[in-house]
Chains A and B, each alone.
Chain A
Amino acid sequence: MAIITYREALNQALREEMGRDDRVFLMGEEVGVYNGAYKVSKGLLEEFGEMRVVDTPITELGFAGVGVGAAMVGLRPVIEFMTWNFALLAIDQVVNAAAKMLYMSGGQYPMPMVFRGPNGAALQLSAQHSQDFESWLAHIPGLKVVTPGTPYDAKGLLKAAIRDDNPVIVLEGEMLYNTKGEVPEHDYIVPIGEAELKREGSDCSIITNGKMVLVAMNAADQLAKDGIRVDVVDLRTVRPMDVEAIITSVQKTNRAVVLEEGWEIAGIGAQVVDYIQRECFDHLDAPVIRVHQADVPMPYAKGLEKLAKPDLQKTIAAVRKVMYLD
């Protein structure tokens, strides 16, 4: 199997789906001539032409709405936000239009479209460019929200998102674009709504998603050196969430750490913990601990930024704590 980057995996997904269905088009800032702000769309303009790889003005609200309108009349837009921070200007189209159209039209207008782009913090980009919006978006009925953490999942989930007849949010990671992994060259999808047990252990579950999957895997490696074996449950999709996968793991290990990139209050982890307390109450040997971003806007200074982010050390500390080792 070929080893390629997360960025190349997304590029393959776009290329394959645009080749498969001529209703699919890519629209956003710098997706064409510039080959993508993060080069995800590299080569696509040349291959598919300017009607299907559309450079837009800097006008998030406008082009998100163009996607909504095109989806209403049968095209299958992939709308790229250069980052999800900028998508706040377009949130009316995501929340009030894309997510609501099917319901408020009594089922007449499905919205087969994708909104995608990098989400969350990179390095020292400070407050306005380092935010994780997964819990905001997962809050909205009418949307599906996927958060691929590996190249394999990036390709499979983006392809599934493009084929889905609902609006799907694809949250990528700027820090993931260069990560590598095995990706099949043949056509495959990763079903939306299915978690994956990325690593098997018996002592504690780490339930996580997106960019934090790598952190959890590293933590699992470190903990293994001390003889602690953890389950790493990668949710992959945060709406709809694979509750069964969470329950199965926690009922086996009896302990859980929930690791997420975003802020604590009303975060994805809060929802995971709710499922755990409802379904695994009698199985728990310790309170569940959450690892998340500090409850502050992201600071610029390197040291402060490190303090603010969830990371390997914080995750290891949390696992040791739920195991009553520290």
Chain B
Amino acid sequence: MPPKKRPDPRALPGDPALRRELFHSMLLQRRFEEKVGEAYALGKIGGFCHLYIGQEAVSTGILSMLRPDDYVITTYRDHGQALARGMSPRAIMAELFGRVDGCSRGKGGSMHLFDRNLNFLGGHGIVGGHVPVAAGVGFAIKYRGGDQVIVCFMGESVVNTGAFHEALNMAALWKLPCLFIIENNKYGMGTAVERAAAIKDLDRRADSYQGMHGEHVDGQDVFAVREATERALEICRKESRPALLEIRTYRFMGHSMSDAVSGTYRTKAELDEQLKRDPVWMLKARMLEAGDCTEADVAEMEREIKTICQDAWDFADASPEPSAEALYEDVLVDTVS
């Protein structure tokens, strides 16, 4: 019998077209958010604005594995996931500018991006508050006998809230198809995870609940994220059981736009070290090496994305502010069923 051919360790999963798509998704998030930072500095965007830069492999890795009829719910750091789910950059930018063509008609802002057509159930502003809501979506899926999954993104600081435990307990007890994603970017605002959580591997929180799958994964490697997501989704979808993934990533920017990037709660040296594992450039290097694309191809993609981001800005800038009548709209609906 001939010896089994060993797989090439440098080989990348998927085909080149898929990999280019993943890279496009991540690069779009990166450039879009850089544009958002610029708009914020110019006063075009106000309020709280939390950038996702550094975490793009998480949103892209997970959301690229979902079906269109699955559900997504997330936190206030929601721009990256909204883009990765396929929301229009124009509608997102217009929302950030507080204009009527925004995805939430200028009523939600950066923290509350919603898109009903994509089953994107919003960015939510209270740490932990949306986790039971995700369990409710899982309950509704089961109630109707569907095979969708709800994916719930949260920051690592959520694992210390009561809402998290209440939701995970019910999800496990009632066998709900919920995929809980802890995006461990190491800091809850300025508090390092070691200073907040009395547990090292956050995915081990799953052990508290019978039958809950838990796993941690390198969040800067989009392929690793996809593989872990595939395993977890299989459990959620086929067995109608919840799963918990801790995705270890890093936030390259401050907690919000008003927060220094480094110097208070983390050192520049730490940040510089983490920047060496930039998920976007790591993927690019691997694709160049695999021959998926050339520098010229990437430059072309950059040009295309730059046009998309500028177009989103121009669209948002031209979109009208909500009228005074809009103030009282959508407090309640008039309908009765």
Asked if chains A and B come from one complex, the reply is yes
Residues of A within 8 A of B (CB): 21, 25, 51, 56-57, 59, 61-77, 92-93, 96-97, 101-110, 112, 141-142, 144, 160, 163-166
Q: Could you tell me if B331 and A110 are in contact, using CB atoms closer than 8 angstroms?
A: no
- Report the minimal beta-carbon distance from A15 to chain B, rounded to whole angstroms: 18
* A contact residues around B280 at 8 Å (CB): none
Within 8 A of A (CB), among B174-203: none
Bound-state CA distance A17–B140 (Å) is 18
CA distance A107 to B334 in the complex (A): 11
Please name all residues of chain A whose beta carbon is closer than 8 Å to the beta carbon of B108 when the two chains form the complex: 104-106
- Which chain B residues numbered 82 to 127 have a C-beta less than 8 Å away from chain A? 102-108, 112, 114-116, 121-122, 124-126
State the CA gap A103–B112 with chains docked (Å): 10
A106 near B114: Cβ-Cβ < 8 Å: yes
Residues of B within 8 A of A64 (CB): 132
Tell me the complex Cα distance, A68–B336, Å.
18
Contact in complex: A103, B140 (CB < 8 Å): no
Closest 6 interchain pairs by CB?
A: A69-B136, A65-B132, A62-B166, A106-B105, A106-B104, A66-B136
* B1 CB–A CB distance under 8 Å: no
List 9 A-B pairs, Cβ < 8 Å: A70-B143, A72-B136, A73-B140, A92-B129, A93-B133, A97-B129, A105-B116, A160-B336, A163-B336
Given contacts A69-B133, A69-B137, contact A104 B163 (CB under 8 A): no
Given A72-B133, A109-B116, the answer on whether A165 and B106 have CB atoms closer than 8 Å is: no
Central interface residue in B71, B129, B136, by most chain A CB within 10 Å: B136
The answer to whether A144 touches B332, judged by C-beta atoms less than 8 angstroms apart, is: yes
Tell me which residues across on chain B come within 8 A of A109, comparing CB atoms. Answer: 114, 116, 121-122
B126 nearest in chain A by CB position: A96
User: Which chain B residues border A92 with CB–CB below 8 Å?
Assistant: 126, 129, 163
Query: From residue B78, how far is it (CB to closest CB) to chain A in Å?
Result: 12
In the assembly, what is the distance between CA of A134 and CA of B45, in Å?
37
Q: Is the CB of B104 within 8 A of A65?
A: no
8 Å CB contacts to A: which residues of B319-337?
329-333, 335-337
Least CB separation from A189: chain B residue = B336
Known: A72-B136, A105-B122. A110 touches B114 (CB 8 A): no
Closest approach, in angstroms, between the C-beta of A195 and any C-beta of chain B? 19
Residues of chain B within 8 A (CB-CB) of A73 are 71, 121, 137, 140-141
Whether B104 lies near A142 (C-beta < 8 A) is no
Evaluate contact between B102 and A106: CB separation under 8 angstroms: yes
Whether B136 pairs with A141 at a CB distance below 8 angstroms is no
Q: A65-B167, A109-B122 are in contact. Are A75 and B143 (CB under 8 A)?
A: yes
A62 touches B133 (CB 8 A): no
Interface string of B214-244 (1 = CB under 8 A from A): 0000000000000000000000000000000
A123 CB → nearest B CB, Å: 31
User: A103 contacts which of B107, B115, B139 (Cβ < 8 Å)?
Assistant: B107
Q: Which of B115, B131, B132 has the most CB of A within 10 A?
A: B132
Q: Which residue of B lies closest to A65 (CB)?
A: B132
Q: Which residues of B contact A108 (CB under 8 A)?
A: 104, 114-116
Q: Does B282 contact A (CB under 8 A)?
A: no
A83 to chain B, nearest CB (A): 18
Complex: how many Å from CA A92 to CA B335? 25
CB of A178, distance to nearest CB on chain B (Å): 31
In the complex, the answer to whether A106 meets B134 with C-beta atoms within 8 Å is no
CB A240 to nearest CB in B, in angstroms, measures 9
Instruction: List A contacts of B107 (CB < 8 A).
Output: 103-106
In whole Å, how far is B219's beta carbon from the nearest beta carbon of chain A?
Answer: 25
Query: Measured between C-beta atoms, what is the minimum distance from A113 to chain B in Å?
Result: 10
Q: Is the CB of A61 within 8 A of B163?
A: yes
Give chain B residues whose Cβ lies under 8 Å from the Cβ of A96. 125-126, 129
B14 CB-CB contact with A under 8 Å: no
Q: Quick one: closest B residue to A52, CB to CB?
A: B143
Chain A residues, CB < 8 A from B332 = 102, 142, 144, 166
Cβ A70 vs Cβ B116 within 8 A: no
**B306 CB to nearest chain A CB (Å):** 28
- Shortest C-beta distance, A79 to chain B (Å), equals 10
- Complex Cα distance A101/B337, Å? 19
Closest residue on chain B to residue A60 by CB atoms: B166
Q: Report B126 CB to chain A, min CB distance, Å.
A: 5
B155-172 contact mask (Cβ, 8 Å, vs A): 1 or 0: 000000011001101100
B135 CB within 8 Å of chain A? yes
Residues of B within 8 A of A75 (CB): 140, 143
- Tell me, yes or no, whether B285 is within 8 Å of chain A by CB: no
B132 contacts A93, CB within 8 Å? yes
Give the residues from 39 to 94 in chain B that come closer than 8 angstroms, CB to CB, to chain A. 71, 73
Instruction: Please measure, in the bound complex, the distance between the C-alpha atom of A57 and the C-alpha atom of B102, giving whole angstroms.
Output: 39
Inside 8 A of A97's CB, which chain B residues have their CB? Answer: 124, 129-130, 133
- A residues near B126, Cβ cutoff 8 Å: 92, 96
Smallest CB gap from B119: residue in A: A73
Query: Which residue of the partner chain B has the closest CB to A101?
Result: B122
Beta-carbon contact of B129 and A165 below 8 Å: no
- In the bound assembly, the distance between CA atoms of A148 and B113 in angstroms comes to 37
The answer on a CB contact under 8 Å between B129 and A93 is: yes
- B288 close to chain A: CB less than 8 A: no
